[in-house]
Amino acid sequence: MSQLRFRVVEEAFKKKAATVDVPSGRPSDYFGKFVFNREKMFKYLPSAVYAKLVDAIDNGAALDRSIADTVAAGMKKWATELGATHYTHWFQPLTEGTAEKHDAFVEHDGKGGMIEEFSGKLLVQQEPDASSFPNGGIRNTFEARGYSAWDPSSPVFVVDDTLCIPTVFIAYTGESLDYKAPLLKALHAVDKAAVEVCHYFNPEVSKVVAYLGWEQEYFLVDEGLYAARPDLLLTGRTLMGHEASKNQQLEDHYFGAIPSRVAAFMRDLEIQALELGIPVKTRHNEVAPNQFELAPIYEECNLAVDHNMLIMSLMKKVARNHGFRVLLHEKPFKGVNGSGKHCNWSLGTDTGSLLMAPGKTAEENLRFITFVVNTLMAVYHHNGLLKASIMSATNAHRLGANEAPPAIISSFLGSKVNEVLNHLEDSLDEDLEALGSKQGMKLDISQIPELLIDNTDRNRTSPFAFTGNRFEFRAVGSEANCASAMIALNAALADQLTKFKAQVDALIAAGDTKTTAILKVLRQCIKECKPIRFDGNGYSDEWVEEAKERGLDCETSCPVIFDNYLSESSIAMFESTGVMTKKELEARNEVKWEMYTKKIQIEARVLGDLAMNHVIPVATEYQSRLIDNVYKLRDLFSAEKAEALSSMNVKLIEDIAQHTIYITKHVDDMIEARKVANRIESEREKAIAYHDTVAPMLEDIRYHIDKLELIVDNQMWTLPKYRELLFVR
């Protein structure tokens, strides 16, 4: 009966590491081989066109349509030399993942034949027939279509036989239908606002760039075992499965060597990532068995997001060549750690300063404190929104569990920065005026450079931690498009910096020196945003209580958390920074609620099917065997003796009956609850109904299935067990 399960386990066990095609030369030789980077632009484009394109990339200058044909021709020449025959506009719809539609480089030549062609028009703009992408009602099938438009700041690249062109995806009426368009706007807003504030310290700054370094966590599962688990296949996570007797308590995996089949996968992935210009650097085992992490060197935020999207699809592809499936779901297995995507984020200037890092001079340190405090203010005022930006049906399993940041946003700063902020908070007006008037500004915050070496007090439980020269947003989910978090964070900071500048300017106009004005406003901000600072244990129950008292958003229901996007303060912030309009926010929330509902709906269906088609039949068959045994004991022995001998089996028969009755009844109830929820018109209310009524049943039913897994004969159990999924490779 369970032949398949045993066969796939055995096959998985026997698999050897696949061979990896290692290109000749060093990584620096093949880095960016498939990317139309500056070196290739220079080679394939006339120099005047090259200069215009670089200007568009670096300074956001509008791309001159007259050069588009030449750029397209150069790209096509380069891409066809690499074997490309097709091109695609590559975009990031509101579903997770990327979308693409491939077209061949061919056109009629007008003489009955074909010519290879790729015009500037096709490069710059397209109308993908994308009516089925979620749009929250902005662009329904009967209305105007959407179009995709090239984002020259992210270079085009070749994957297999296709030239991929990173694009934004916008409705004809102008609303964004993707993640990239609002991200670019948020990055532009933070650039503008931060440059203004930088001018207090250095008038030469003309551009501020947001950086992102993501750390991608994932699980690998042998593909045979994966295929034998319909829940993994259809929902990305296990909806049932009793914990293995051993899981992660020994932490032997975290410290252990990377298994050879996995090492081959990682090597292959890294080579292909480097060829695509993704600067991967770090790899290691993670805490849970079969869990791993991959991280590149940080890059400009928009490019880093594209690279993360690209590597997620690359991981899926490469894993298959190694007989694995990669699981990007935030919580594929109950009882072991889930996967996140820590987003290391900072700002830097075109004059070479990192704004979230302390400097050598008092002036640089005041700038550092300015940016840290403004970040805290943004995170404080928009803590609910930031939580919404990382929330999803899948990440909800991870947040709040004792292994990931809680579902409350707070910020860890470490003792040194705290000391400085506390000191500033307690300063009197006279102190600040004295500091501001001193020649050369001998601030007693000059001890800050010590921070650089003080990297020891890290707090793993904080969702938004300062780590020396950056903040690490740890609540982001492994499967998510990190643009969502980056849009909210950068837009919120842009808004805050603009307000900060207005306050400082007002004080200067009233007669304060620049330094005194900055210090006074900072002092005010430090007082105001105090509730967001928390260096204690974020996993503790006391923190939840305290956070409530501090007025932080403690909501745990995913669909209700999405409401934060539509709060007055969020709408005002997104509109004033020009990142999104109320209409866009409303439409995007419709999509979020709808996706939430669909995910739970699919899980409920899959669990119902598995329960009825796999679990109940197997449990009943085993139960019949036990019953058979009881009867045979009666035939063989006296009534009294038979009763004594069969008492254990009788108990098991009853236990199985209890569990199967519970499961059958609740699968029915779950179908009923879905029917009720499905009749609800409003997407928000429907998602809430799914959250409140359907989702808890998944857990209840699972509990009984997992109990049966322990009772039923191992030989008969059809679905691969946790010990196999997590330890066989």
Q: 399 near 451, Cβ under 8 Å?
A: no
- Secondary element (H or E) of residue 371: helix 362-381
Residue 296's binding partner among ligand ADP, Mg ion, none (Cβ under 5 to 8 angstroms by kind) is ligand ADP
C-beta nearest to Mg ion: residue: 342
Residue with tokens 């993942």: 97
**Phi-psi region at 110: left, alpha or beta (left = phi > 0; alpha = psi -120 to 50):** left
Among 22, 297, 506, 648, binds ligand ADP (CB under 6 A): 297
User: Which residue stretch of 225-233, 339-347, 358-366, 566-574 sits at the interface with ligand ADP (rule: CB under 6 A)?
Assistant: 339-347
Contact partner, 447, from Mg ion, ligand ADP, none, Cβ < 5-8 Å per class: none
Using CB under 6 A as the binding rule, whether residue 32 contacts ligand ADP is answered as: no
| Closer Cβ to ligand ADP, 286 or 584, answer by number | 286
Report 231-290 residues binding ligand ADP (CB under 6 A): 282
Indicate whether 707 belongs to the interface with Mg ion (CB under 5 A): no
Can residue 470 be called a binding residue for ligand ADP (CB under 6 A)? yes
The whole-angstrom separation of Cα 169 and Cα 147 is 6
From CA 504, how far away is CA 690, in angstroms rounded?
48
Give the Cα separation of 174 and 584 in Å (integer): 10
Footprint of ligand ADP on residues 341-360 (CB under 6 A)?
344-346, 354
User: Which two three-digit tokens encode residue 648?
Assistant: 């254990």
Identify whether the C-beta of residue 475 lies closer than 8 Å to the C-beta of residue 409: yes
Binding status of residue 365 toward ligand ADP by CB under 6 A: no
How far apart CA 623 and CA 600 sit, in angstroms, is 31
Does residue number 295 form part of the binding site for ligand ADP (CB under 6 A)? yes
602, with CB counted inside 10 A (0-12, 13-18, 19+), is middle
**Where do we find the tokens 């650097």?**
281
Length of the chain, please?
729
Place of tokens 């307690």: 426
Q: How far is the CB of 472 from Mg ion (least distance, A)?
A: 5
Q: Tell me whether residue 357 or residue 618 sits nearer to ligand ADP (CB atom).
A: 357
Name the binder of 18 from Mg ion, ligand ADP, none, CB < 5-8 A by kind.
Answer: none
Among Mg ion, ligand ADP, none, partner that 380 touches (CB below 5 to 8 angstroms by kind): none
- Using the contact rule CB under 6 A, the part of the chain among 85-93, 295-303, 331-339, 539-547 near ligand ADP is 295-303
Of 342 and 523, the one with the shorter C-beta distance to Mg ion is 342
Q: Please tell me whether residue 437 binds ligand ADP under the rule CB under 6 A.
A: no
End-to-end CA separation in angstroms for the chain: 24
- Give me the phi and psi of 146, to 5 degrees please: -105, 165
Q: Give the amino acid at 231.
A: D
The Cα–Cα gap between 639 and 645 comes to 10
For ligand ADP, the binding residue among 162, 248, 395, 469 (CB under 6 A) is 469
Q: Report the distance separating Cα 701 and Cα 664, nearest Å.
A: 9
Output b/e per residue, 44-68; b: 16+ Cβ within 10 A. bbeeebbebbbebbeeeeebeeebb
| Smallest distance, ligand ADP to C-beta of residue 344, A | 3
Give one DSSP letter per residue of 603-672, joined into a string: HHHHHHHHIIIIIHHHHHHHHHHHHHHHHHHHHHS-HHHHHHHHHHHHHHHHHHHHHHHHHHHHHHHHHH
Instruction: Give the range of 6-14, 124-132, 339-347, 505-513 binding Mg ion by CB under 5 A.
Output: 339-347
Residue 66, interface with ligand ADP (CB under 6 A)? no
Q: Which of 163, 160, 152 is nearest to 105 (CA)?
A: 163
Q: How far apart are CA 569 and CA 104, in angstroms?
A: 47
Q: Which range, of 185-193, 201-209, 293-301, 358-366, touches ligand ADP by CB under 6 A?
A: 293-301
* Binds ligand ADP by CB under 6 A, chosen from 32, 93, 136, 213: 213
Sign (positive or negative) of CA dihedral 131, 137, 142, 146: negative
CA–CA separation, 135 and 694 (whole Å): 25
Show the tokens assigned to 531.
């509730």
Total residues contacting ligand ADP by CB under 6 A comes to 14
Stretch that binds Mg ion, among 37-45, 72-80, 119-127, 341-349 (CB under 5 A): 341-349
Which is closer to Mg ion, CB of 317 or CB of 458? 458
One of 33, 40, 329, 342 touching Mg ion (CB under 5 A) = 342
Q: Which residue is nearest to ligand ADP (CB)?
A: 213
Contacting residue, 133, 150, 200, 211, with ligand ADP by CB under 6 A: 211
For residues 671 to 700, the per-residue mask of contacts with Mg ion, x marking binding by CB under 5 A and - elsewhere, is: ------------------------------
Choices 322-330, 336-344, 411-419, 434-442; region in contact with Mg ion by CB under 5 A: 336-344
1 is a site residue for ligand ADP (CB under 6 A): no
Compute the radius of gyration of the chain from its Cα atoms: 29
| Contact call for residue 464 and ligand ADP (CB under 6 A) | no
d(CA 714, CA 240): 16
Closest separation in Å from C-beta 371 to ligand ADP:
12
Out of 91, 298, 324, 593, the only residue in the binding site for ligand ADP (CB under 6 A) is: 298
- Residue 211 interacts with, from ligand ADP, Mg ion, none (CB under 5-8 Å by kind): ligand ADP
Q: Which residues bind ligand ADP (CB under 6 A)?
A: 211, 213, 215, 282, 295-298, 344-346, 354, 469-470
Q: Which residues bind Mg ion (CB under 5 A)?
A: 342
